[in-house]
């Protein structure tokens, strides 16, 4: 049974499939800055491979064929340790809403929870590549991609520019929220490519190849690509479309509830917002790819007729760029609120999220 190493999972996870495990974080868990490891979303294409510290080795292969091997202990002992906060988002996050509001989209019908945030600890991929003999100051002509291969055979790649960028913060991560990586999230080590679609953050990584070619895996070449609205699966020209790397701007409502003057904690919140009557509180996350900071979160309580700006909550983020999500909150007196709420975020490049898929109705 290839799934014999799959761990027991927290019952709060919302399971879409069990073999392989695909499970999203429940909305109650998406309200915290860092998602607890137990309820961090899980996206596995296959089983959890056997990869124990004792025998897991990471091999780095350069374009000239040179190879160098590292154990987890080697990484910890010989390289500078780095901590960053970064959000991982599956490209299919909120596909359900796209199917409902725009057009049907193939694949797992994720809600708002195929995304989670954590503090990651590890070493920089660029430091490892340099140690393995790659000249970072004068990259060889044939060093165009960094390919990652997982212990169960999943694979993907990123452009070499991201891999060696000092401010790119690409890590070989071995800790998540202060704990060793859990089995589902890549124990003993995973690649963590912040700002990039999570499909490139290969778990249980056992081989890194610097090469002229992108990864030849189906997940790089036959999946995780975008096509025009008129193009269905049979017409898709896979070879001509680029592989997704950085993600567009995203936001979602994770909590929409009535708050009243009768509850002491709610009263405090009302006070902060200067409201004296029963209100509706809306909360959620916003995030953009490439480390682009969220500069604004627009929110409507009447299906997009009138707009307001949500309060951006302050969190302590770590790293060279805005790799972690921006949490936000907003309150509106109940009598002013309709039933259909809409959110759309804007990032520092002024990319604006389309409003159509950001809808949410009271009581759902």
Q: Which residues bind Mo ion (CB under 5 A)?
A: 43, 90, 199
- Cβ proximity to ligand MTE, 60 vs 270, nearer residue: 60
* Farthest-apart Cα atoms in the chain, separation: 70
List the interface residues with ligand MTE, window 78-137 (CB under 6 A). 88, 90
| 42 binding ligand MTE? (CB under 6 A) | yes
Helices (H), 260-317: 264-272
| 154 binding ligand MTE? (CB under 6 A) | yes
For ligand MTE, which residue has the nearest CB? Answer: 150
Q: Binds 174, which of Mo ion, ligand MTE, none (CB < 5 to 8 A, cut-off by type)?
A: none
Rounded to whole angstroms, the Cα distance separating 181 from 22 reads 18
Rounded to whole angstroms, the Cα distance separating 168 from 53 reads 27
- Cβ proximity to Mo ion, 70 vs 110, nearer residue: 110
Please count the other Cβ atoms lying within 10 Å of the Cβ belonging to residue 307: 13
Q: Binds 56, which of Mo ion, ligand MTE, none (CB < 5 to 8 A, cut-off by type)?
A: none
> Segment contacting ligand MTE (CB under 6 A): 53-61, 121-129, 146-154, 276-284?
146-154
Please count the other Cβ atoms lying within 10 Å of the Cβ belonging to residue 135: 11
Q: Binds 112, which of Mo ion, ligand MTE, none (CB < 5 to 8 A, cut-off by type)?
A: none
Rounded to whole angstroms, the Cα distance separating 193 from 99 reads 28
Q: Binds 75, which of ligand MTE, Mo ion, none (CB < 5 to 8 A, cut-off by type)?
A: none
Backbone CA torsion sign across 331, 333, 339, 341: negative
Residue 327 phi, psi dihedral angles, 5° rounding: -85, 150
Rounded to whole angstroms, the Cα distance separating 104 from 101 reads 9
- Cβ proximity to ligand MTE, 37 vs 279, nearer residue: 37
3-state secondary structure of 147: strand
How far apart are CB 150 and ligand MTE at their closest, in Å? 3
- Cβ proximity to ligand MTE, 45 vs 83, nearer residue: 45
Q: How many residues bind ligand MTE (CB under 6 A)?
A: 19
Q: CA 315, 181, 18: angle at the middle one, nearest 5?
A: 100
| 225 binding ligand MTE? (CB under 6 A) | no
Rounded to whole angstroms, the Cα distance separating 212 from 10 reads 41
| 41 binding ligand MTE? (CB under 6 A) | yes
Structural contact between residues 25 and 116, judged by C-beta atoms closer than 8 angstroms? yes
Structural contact between residues 251 and 353, judged by C-beta atoms closer than 8 angstroms? yes
- Contact characters 180-199, ligand MTE, x per CB under 6 A: ----xx------------xx
| 202 binding ligand MTE? (CB under 6 A) | yes
> Segment contacting ligand MTE (CB under 6 A): 41-49, 63-71, 264-272, 280-288?
41-49
Q: For binding to ligand MTE (CB under 6 A), which residues are involved? A: 40-45, 88, 90, 150, 152, 154, 184-185, 198-199, 201-204
């Amino acid at each position: 049974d290839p799934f014999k190493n799959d761990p027991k999972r927290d019952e709060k996870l919302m399971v879409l499939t069990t073999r392989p495990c695909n499970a999203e974080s429940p909305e109650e868990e998406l309200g915290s800055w860092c998602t607890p490891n137990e309820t961090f979303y899980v996206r596995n294409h296959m089983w959890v491979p056997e990869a124990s510290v004792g025998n897991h080795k990471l091999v780095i292969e350069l374009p000239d064929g040179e190879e160098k091997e590292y154990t987890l202990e080697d990484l910890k002992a010989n390289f500078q340790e780095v901590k960053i906060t970064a959000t991982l988002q599956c490209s299919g996050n909120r596909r359900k809403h796209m199917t409902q509001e725009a057009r049907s989209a193939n694949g797992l019908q994720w809600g708002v929870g195929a995304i989670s945030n954590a503090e990651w600890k590890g070493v920089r991929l660029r430091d490892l590549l340099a140690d393995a003999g790659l000249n970072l100051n004068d990259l060889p002509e044939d060093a165009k991609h960094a390919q990652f291969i997982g212990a169960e055979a999943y694979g993907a790649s990123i452009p070499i520019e991201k891999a060696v960028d000092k401010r790119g913060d690409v890590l070989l991560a071995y800790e998540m929220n202060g704990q060793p990586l859990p089995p589902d999230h890549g124990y003993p080590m995973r690649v963590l490519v912040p700002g990039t679609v999570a499909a490139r953050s290969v778990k249980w990584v056992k081989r890194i190849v610097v090469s002229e070619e992108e990864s030849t895996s189906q997940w790089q070449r036959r999946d995780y690509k975008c096509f025009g609205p008129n193009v269905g699966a049979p017409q898709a020209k896979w070879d001509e479309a680029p592989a997704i790397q950085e993600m567009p701007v995203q936001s979602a409502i994770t909590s929409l509830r009535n708050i009243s003057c009768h509850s002491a904690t709610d009263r405090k919140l009302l006070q902060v917002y200067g409201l004296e009557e029963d209100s509706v509180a809306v909360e959620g996350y916003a995030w953009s790819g490439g480390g682009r900071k969220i500069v604004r979160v627009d929110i409507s309580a009447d299906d997009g007729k009138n707009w307001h700006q949500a309060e951006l909550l302050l969190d302590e983020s770590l790293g060279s760029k805005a790799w972690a999500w921006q949490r936000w909150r907003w309150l509106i007196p109940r009598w002013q609120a309709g039933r259909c709420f809409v959110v759309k975020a804007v990032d520092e490049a002024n990319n604006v999220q389309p409003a159509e898929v950001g809808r949410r109705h009271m009581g759902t």
